[in-house]
Chain A
Amino acid sequence: MLKTAWAGLRAHKLRLLLTSLAIVLGVAFIAGTFVLNDTIQAGFGQRVTADAEKVAVAVLPGGPDKTIARETLERVRGVAGVREAQGLLRGSAPLLGKDGKTVGDLPTTAVSIVPGALDRTTIVTGTGPGSDDQAAVLDENTAKAQGFRLGDTITVLDAKQRKHTFRLVGTLDPGLDQQLSYTGVVGFTMATAQRMTGEKGFQEIDVAGADPARLKATVAATVGGAHVVKTGTELAADLARQAGLEMEMLTIGLLMFGLVAMLVATLVIYNTFNILVAQRTREMALLRCIGATRGQVFGSILIESAVVGLVASVLGLAAGYGLSVLTLAVLAAFDAPLPTAATVTLTPATIAIGLVIGLVVTVGAAVLPARTATRVAPIAALRTQVEEQTFRTGALRVVFASLFLLAGLGAAGAGALVLPPGQQGSLLVVMAGGVLTFLGVLILGPVLVKPLSALIGWIPAKLFGVPGRLAVDNSGRNPKRAATTTVALTIGVTLMTLISVVTASTRATVTIKLDEQFPIDYQLVTQERDAGIPRVIGEELRGRPELAAVLRIRDTRVAVGGTRTQVGTYNGPIEPQVTAGSMRGFGAGQAILAEYTATDLGVKVGDTVSVTTKKAGTVPLKVVALVDEESPLPSLTMAEPQFEEAFGVVDDSRVLLNIGEGVSPEQARSVVDAATAAYPTVQVQSSTEVRGQFDETLDMLLMIITGLLGLAILISLLGIANTLSLSVYERTRESALLRALGLTKPQLRRMLSVEALVLGLIGALVGVVLGVSFGWAASRAMLDGAVFSASAGQIGVFVVLSGVAGVLAAILPSRRAARASIVGSLAAG
């Protein structure tokens, strides 16, 4: 049997190669993900280890938001065996850009840079500040983005918003610290850092000395139980773990796409083996005639699949290795905040996972076809004409499909319409519904193929005459095969459409909610809550004729019923979405709550909440309305006079502006800019900018996910090409007959292209229907008050691309069909 398996492999090597490509791609993606993860984790480890070698012992604060007092440093310095000890300080110090405004959404983080052996910063260009209190360093990205060069003068605000200037002497690499990478870093001497940030304590004390373990004990005894003391090695392990956590999430995300790809690959392999078995019916029957047992026939096919799976997995591992090397190179080229320098290695675990997945998927997909092969009766060897695969819709199939569809659509409907939106449970129910529906469609596929091909093929049949009509007939000719082929494509298209619909709906929902409540043109914000927007700005803007409306929000954080809550008020026109109660006649003694705040506090309209204030003691407020969380109002809103009474004069925290009728945006912007020019911390954002950022993020997400799903689409195309080339092979004599009757080579090629086009479009159409439906359901389940929106353009592109891809998949098979000699093909049999 080994011999026949081997002969089978050799006889069908081209087809099996195409099939194995599907596995190669899937395994490569999964293995590549693991290799990437391993390499980056190793990189994290290397970096922190290098850092931690400098540190024998580190003292950390006892909890988050706590710091280490300065005296503690002195005490640590006095411990026997401590060669050197330095505090590390970290705080906010907003850097001003060249436009005189603070840079970024969050204040720049100031860090102290210590001289000597305990310096852990990586200076990239120039030098550190040394002992020069007038010198500063910036992280590379901020310096580049803001256009600062070494020797330039930079302006930084201190804790009281006063400007200080420094000479830029160097740039540093923030390394793996996500916070620093995000906010940007400005490095000072310890003295300057203390002066600028106003921070009293340290974030960490690093100690140099011999024998870390002993030192750890003595230092711990000195600093007392309120601190955490670690050796350098322990610190390194912690840092590596934290840094690696995010990478792990990313890895899991990537693996999901890998699984989708493998699922598609499974369908492709299943189809190929099914077709191979169907074509070799006579061969199998002959084997049975000459005495092969069913088990032997079964075994020969499984061996064949195992060899294919093994070869493909090995190739996949190699490709995955290459893929991760490539990805790392790209990441390095884009300066991603990830270590890319570690040596790329295929760990035994990755090799094992790759091989097992590839083998299990391939052999698993071949089991059913192999079973079919065992059912071939020896007598089939004697039949001359290979029978046309007939397909009758079985009652059982319809019953099963209906059950799945009913359950799936029911679950999705319940998740979308009945369960409360915005909760994970609802989304999970919708997703489960999606999976069930998909299974239903999978079972019903063969029944759907014929009518769908007639529907979709209507235009090609009209357009391409005889070849078109024959192609449409052919596409529905073997419904089971066509269904499996197209379902593979459907998976990718469904997911792409779903993502597209969810992002479009999210965008539409958020935009509409914003527009309804306050159609903002500009908003004034600051980086930090504490640094408010001076009231004069709001007052001045309110007087300007260029602006139609000025809405000012101010707030503070105080205890409400024991929970620290954002309490505030507003001044100006606003119509938030009231979900319960009414805002009419809102005044003293009343409160408006954001929905989530009401849930947190466990109150509803009509209940009373008490706000604890310094000036007015405890103020009881009756809840009169709940508003949508998208509203710009604070968590708890009081009437303005009562808020002033309770908290005094508080700066505005947000000012929302609307341009007047007939005023150009430039004109209005210059007014707003002029009013805020004197206040570097006050940033002006236009709604187009804000929406632009939001849109960009969504677009980016959409692009990445679509790109990752592209792999699944690619694999399904291999499936189409495979099915088509097998059909071409089966129809050798048919094609020859058509050619004899006067079909030209281009017409024959066109016939196959149209067949592939129809298959591709069926897959895409089903995918679009499923994707739009479940995209809608998922949006309903995820977003409160979801507005359905779908980009016809994007979905159109998916459909067109599927069609084009199908046609591309047909190129090679159709060329082969057209090239075959008529005489030779007529004789084939």
Chain B
Amino acid sequence: MTLTETWRQAPPAVLAKALTKVYGHGDAQVHALREVDVAFATGAFTAIMGPSGSGKSTLMHCLAGLDTATSGTVHIGDVELTGLGDKQLTLLRRERIGFIFQAFNLLPTLTAEQNIRLPLEIAARQADQVLFDRVIDTVGLRDRLAHRPAELSGGQQQRVAVARALISKPQVIFADEPTGNLDSRSGAEVLSFLRTSVRELGQTIVMVTHDPMAASYADRVVFLRDGALVTDITSPSPQSVLDTLMKLEA
């Protein structure tokens, strides 16, 4: 049995069915998502790719409960998001979802450590000290914990964001172009942390990216075009991702 088959049998961490998102009315109507069916396996690192405007961010926002879809359903684990109110969605994000954004991930008033612990404190949960130490050492931030974001480089800031996402052991981490603002070396660092956390901690990660190199760190890549899921590849290499993209854009 291949690895891929194992994933397919385990219940997916995130499941979307016939997901549709329409912005605006009448002539100005934009179908950002058209009946997307997609599943993200537990313990896997999945990348979402597609040309600009294809609906990647929209998909991620709908999956993460940051935005509500026009129709269709989303499950995070066994919880269905459709029909949940803002309060329930907020609690769901707090308990089950981690985020890494392209920029502005951290609160400027808090130190790195405070930023990392923030989700736990919001949820009034105790930090798992063993996990904390392991995460900190993995991302190599031990000597930067007392610094504020302004005193950290962009790469370090993203690493703090990764640590923050990992610390609360969420069911799934959503990352929207986490390396978009980094040079290739810092980007590679952050990506390898993400992959390590999937391998070693069994974390589920869904990452939106433009970069074939970044996508190659994932176990699987799904491709969007004009708001519809067109194809996916498993065990990608930069070259295979690039080829698929070229085909899509042609």
Contacts and interface: CB of A to CB of B under 8 A. Distances in A.
Nearest to A740: B99
Contacts of B122: 466, 738, 741-743, 747
A466 B118 CA distance: 8
A388 B108 CA distance: 8
B78 interface: no
A736 to B, nearest CB: 9
Nearest to B117: A466
A491 to B, nearest CB: 29
B91 interface: yes
Contacts, number: 64
Interface string A470-494: 1001100100000000000000000
A190 to B, nearest CB: 85
A465 B121 contact: yes
A744 B67 contact: no
B201 interface: no
A280 interface: no
Contacts of B95: 742
Nearest to A748: B90
Interface string A145-176: 00000000000000000000000000000000
A473 B105 contact: no
A109 B187 CA distance: 97
A509 to B, nearest CB: 49
B91 A737 contact: no
A741 B104 contact: no
Q: How large is the interface on A (under 10, 10 to 19, 20 to 34, 35 or more residues)?
A: 20 to 34
Interface in B40-73: 61, 64, 66-67
A470 B107 contact: yes
Nearest to B90: A744
Most interface-central of A466, A473, A745, A821 (chain B CB within 10 A): A466
Contacts of B109: 470, 473-474, 477
Nearest to A474: B109
B168 to A, nearest CB: 9
B144 interface: no
A349 B138 CA distance: 76
Contact of A823 (B66, B107, B124): B66
A392 B95 CA distance: 39
Contacts of B86: 744-745
B83 to A, nearest CB: 18
Interface in B100-126: 101, 104-110, 118-119, 121-124
B124 A741 contact: no
Contact of B105 (A474, A737, A739): A737
A388 to B, nearest CB: 5
Contacts of A822: 66-67
A623 B53 CA distance: 103
Contacts of A733: 104
A826 interface: yes
Interface string A444-477: 0000000000000000000001100010011001
A450 to B, nearest CB: 12
A742 B108 contact: no
B247 interface: no
Interface in B155-198: none
A211 interface: no
A744 B99 CA distance: 16
A470 B61 CA distance: 26
A465 B86 CA distance: 21
Secondary structure call for the A interface: helix
A823 B21 CA distance: 14
A470 B121 CA distance: 11
B150 interface: yes
A742 B119 contact: yes
Contacts of A734: 104, 107-108
Contacts of B110: 470, 473
B53 to A, nearest CB: 14
Interface residues of B, number: 27
Interface string A799-829: 0000000000000000000000111001001
Contacts of B93: 740-742
Contacts of A821: 67
A349 to B, nearest CB: 52
Interface in A703-749: 733-734, 737-745, 747
B94 A742 contact: yes
Contact of B91 (A473, A477, A744, A826): A744
B87 interface: yes
Given A466-B118, A822-B66, A737 B90 contact: no
Contact of A742 (B91, B101, B105): B91
Nearest to A469: B121
B91 A466 contact: no
A168 B103 CA distance: 90
Contacts of B124: 465
B87 A744 contact: yes
Contacts of B99: 740-741
Nearest to A745: B86
Contacts of B108: 388, 734
Contacts of A738: 107, 122
A808 B110 CA distance: 27
A739 B67 contact: no
Contacts of A826: 66, 101, 104
Given A474-B109, A744-B90, A823-B66, A737 B104 contact: yes
A742 B107 contact: no
Contacts of B66: 740, 822-823, 826
Given A741-B93, A743-B90, A466 B121 contact: yes
A739 B119 CA distance: 10
A741 B94 contact: yes
A734 B95 CA distance: 20
A733 B108 CA distance: 11
Nearest to A467: B122
Contacts of A743: 90, 122
Most chain A beta-carbon neighbours within 10 Å: one of B87, B104, B105, B110:
B104
B61 A823 contact: yes
A474 B110 CA distance: 10
A542 to B, nearest CB: 77
B23 to A, nearest CB: 11
Contacts of A747: 122
A818 B55 CA distance: 26
A474 B108 CA distance: 10
A737 B100 CA distance: 10
Nearest to B109: A473
Nearest to B148: A388
A827 B66 CA distance: 12
Contacts of B67: 821-823
Scoring A465, A744, A747 by chain B CB atoms within 10 A of each residue's CB, the highest score goes to A744
Contacts of B64: 740
A672 to B, nearest CB: 70
A742 B61 contact: no
A104 to B, nearest CB: 66
Contact of B118 (A741, A745, A829): A741
A388 B110 CA distance: 13
Contacts of B118: 466, 741
A370 B19 CA distance: 51
A717 B124 CA distance: 33
Interface of B: 61, 64, 66-67, 86-87, 90-91, 93-95, 99, 101, 104-110, 118-119, 121-124, 150
16 contacts: A388-B108, A388-B150, A465-B121, A465-B124, A470-B110, A737-B101, A737-B107, A740-B99, A741-B93, A741-B94, A741-B118, A744-B90, A745-B87, A822-B67, A823-B61, A823-B66
8 closest A-B pairs (Cβ-Cβ)?
A742-B94, A473-B109, A744-B90, A823-B67, A466-B121, A742-B122, A742-B93, A822-B66
Given A466-B122, A741-B119, 7 more contacts: A465-B124, A466-B118, A733-B104, A740-B66, A740-B99, A823-B61, A826-B66
Interface of A: 388, 465-466, 470, 473-474, 477, 733-734, 737-745, 747, 821-823, 826, 829
